[in-house]
Structure 1
Amino acid sequence: MNKLLTLALTGALLLGATGCASSSDDKTITVAASTTPHAIILNHIKDDLKKEGYTLKVTEYTDYVQPNNVVEDGDFDANYFQHTPYLDSFNKEHKTHLVSAGKIHYEPFGIYAGTKKDLKQISKGDVIAIPNDTTNEARALLLLADQGLITLKKDAGINATIKDITSNPHNISFKELEAAQISRINKEVAFVVLNGNYALDAGYNAATDALAYEDSSSTAASVYANIIAVKKGNEKKAKIKALVKALKSDSLKNWLKTRFKGSVIAYNGK
């Protein structure tokens, strides 16, 4: 009897310990993020979440693939680095099941100087570096089209590729690279078109350094708003809702204005 009682008590203790671990896990939020500006923003709200009883753990990544893989695999609760068109493309290509839990901020896509310092200096055969992933290439091409450097098919939209260019009066050549690599070759090409976070990593500010950038009141502000992404079914978890709420607070919006001076803009929609 004593032996059975001991085993029963041990089992109860282990069950209780497991319950505590689960409870503790529910109060820990793990997020995979790009270094700039995403990890910076997340680290800024750690204290806000702590007041709500949550511990935020941020792990930084330098690519656009692993942050989605680790959330899909269940190793992380969420990631913060991408916009919805990229997520949709990634899900389709990799058979993943990720969804947006909320739109947080917008980073204006910009055209920056390479060997040429003004878009008016463009000449025949100049090379422009653009991202090679589907959604960001389209975004780069749309921005170049807005500047009159090329013309795209009317229905190309956010799926545009260089094959959709209908007019290229300067015979521009496009160097398609992984987004993270583009700023590194700015001394080798006439111009570079950069994602907001990689522009920040390279020391650029779209509002002050870009030769041209997306209008914050444009459709792009909504379409390309950076999101908190989670595995489908987890978007309604209390800790994910707490994370999104902290990232959409008025205090954070005001801090973004001061900290990033126009290169990162809070998204005000849902």
Structure 2
Amino acid sequence: MKKRNFLLACGFSLIFGLSAAQAAETLKVGATPVPHADILNVVQPMLAKQGVDLKIVEFSDYVQPNLALSDKDLDANFFQHLPYLETFAKDRGLKLISAGSVHIEPMGVYSKKVKNLADLKKRASVGIPNDPTNGGRALQVLASNGLIKMKEGVGVNGTPLDIVDNPKNIRIVEVEAATLPRALDDLDAAVINSNFALGANLNPSKDAIAIESKDSPYANVIAVRAGDEKRPAIEALMKSLHSPEVKKFIEDKYNGAVVPAF
């Protein structure tokens, strides 16, 4: 009798285990490698305990992750700040929204030629991202450090055409954001997003010759298709990303190069 009960118990356990495994929901999230995929790796086991199987798909550019999300090849993505998401979605007619903020990556100015922005020579070449919102943001970094002056009120929408004062006749070179670290050899300086700087072993807190203020409004967000923000798996993802464990990981790992936005 005892043996029969034991076998029945084992059978029920096996059935329960299979049911639990079958009930696990897969959540496919696109991300650039650093720091986004690194942060997602922290919450992967946390989500597994909640029945969510997080699959991380890495991208190396700022275009494909949003297109893949819109085409339903992804459930969410994590690589961009809110102004970029809103501009991209509006320009392409995509119904993508933010499910919440996670962190801020202050942009930094890097150079292999000078140790200080003031040391840049006349007609020095300075690279900025060629996408509209990151380009405008980079120009604001240069303006806040006194290198140029922008037309009042242009904010994130500023372009090189909106420069109203350029004492050193700096040449602004627009380059794809991901390739700016590699372009440093050919430029006098470049304004680089922290995720691409970190991926190129550039430490924003040590290697940048100027850095964006830590009160930057450009928080990186989890993007989803409109209507999916209330999906239980997405809500579980956001709750895990806003956990004390993630906050500690960001602070310990990046030493100010990445700042929690929650």
- Once the 2 structures are TM-superposed, how far is the Cα of residue 118 of structure 1 from its aligned partner? 1.9
| Partner of residue 229, structure 1 | 223
Q: Report the RMSD for the aligned CA atoms in angstroms.
A: 1.4
CA distance in 2, matches of 1:151, 1:127: 16
Report sequence identity in percent. 43
Of residues 53, 57, 68, the one that matches 2:51 is 53
Deviations along 1:35-75, one digit per CA (max 9) or x if unpaired, are 11111110111111112121110010001111111111111
**Aligned residues of 1:114 and 1:188 also touching (Cα < 8 A):** no
User: Aligned residue for 1:255?
Assistant: 249
Q: Distance in 1 between matches of 2:49 and 2:221?
A: 23
Matched position secondary structure for 2:121: coil
TM-fit CA distance, 1:24? 3.8
- Spell out, residue by residue over 1:69-107, the C-alpha distance to the aligned partner (whole angstroms, 9 max, x if none): 111111111000001111111112211110000000010
> Are 2:185 and 1:191 equivalent residues in the alignment?
no
Task: Please point out which of 113, 128, 131 is paired with 1:130.
Answer: 128
Q: How many residues align?
A: 243
* Residue of structure 2 equivalent to 1:80: 78
Counterpart for residue 267 of structure 1: 261
Aligned to 1:169: 167
The residue correspondences of 1:178-217 to structure 2 (distance < 5 A) are: 178-216=176-214
In structure 2, how many angstroms separate the alpha carbons of the residues matched to 1:125 and 1:256?
A: 38
Residue range with higher mean Cα deviation, 203-212 or 59-68: 203-212
Contact map agreement 2:141 2:211 (CA 8 A) in 1 = yes
Alignment correspondent of 1:106: 104
State the shift of 1:117 in Å: 2.5
Contact 2:143 2:150 in 1 (8 A): yes
Give 2:119's aligned residue. 121
Flag structure 1 segments of 5+ consecutive residues without an equivalent.
1-19
The match for 1:152 among 142, 150, 153 is 150
Structure-2 separation of matches of 1:87 and 1:117: 33
Output the amino acid matched with 1:209: D
Say whether the 8 Å CA contact 2:133–2:156 is kept in structure 1: yes
Report if the CA contact (8 A) 1:63-1:180 is conserved: yes
Give the conservation status (yes or no) of the 8 Å contact 1:205–1:262: no
Which secondary structure does the structure 2 equivalent of 1:71 belong to?
helix
Q: Whole-Å Cα distance in 2 between the matches of residues 138 and 24 of structure 1? A: 45
The offset of 1:112, in angstroms, is 0.7
Q: Say if 1:138 and 1:159, in contact at 8 Å, map to a contact too.
A: yes
Distance in 2, matches of 1:163 and 1:92, equals: 22
Are 2:237 and 1:239 aligned?
A: no
Asked if the contact 2:102–2:222 (Cα under 8 Å) also holds between the matched residues in 1, the reply is: yes
Give the partner amino acid of 1:44: V
| Contact 1:97-1:231 within 8 A present in 2 as well | yes
The answer as to whether partners of 2:23 and 2:51 remain within 8 angstroms in 1 is no
Runs of 4+ in 1 over 6 A off after TM superposition: none
In 2, Cα distance between the equivalents of 1:187 and 1:116? 12
Distance 1:207 1:226 in 2: 19
Q: What is the TM-score of this pair, normalised by structure 1?
A: 0.87
What CA deviation, in whole Å up to 9, does each residue of 1:182-222 have, x standing for no partner?
Answer: 11111111111101110111111211211111121x2x2xx
**CA–CA distance in structure 2, aligned partners of residues 143 and 77 of structure 1:** 33
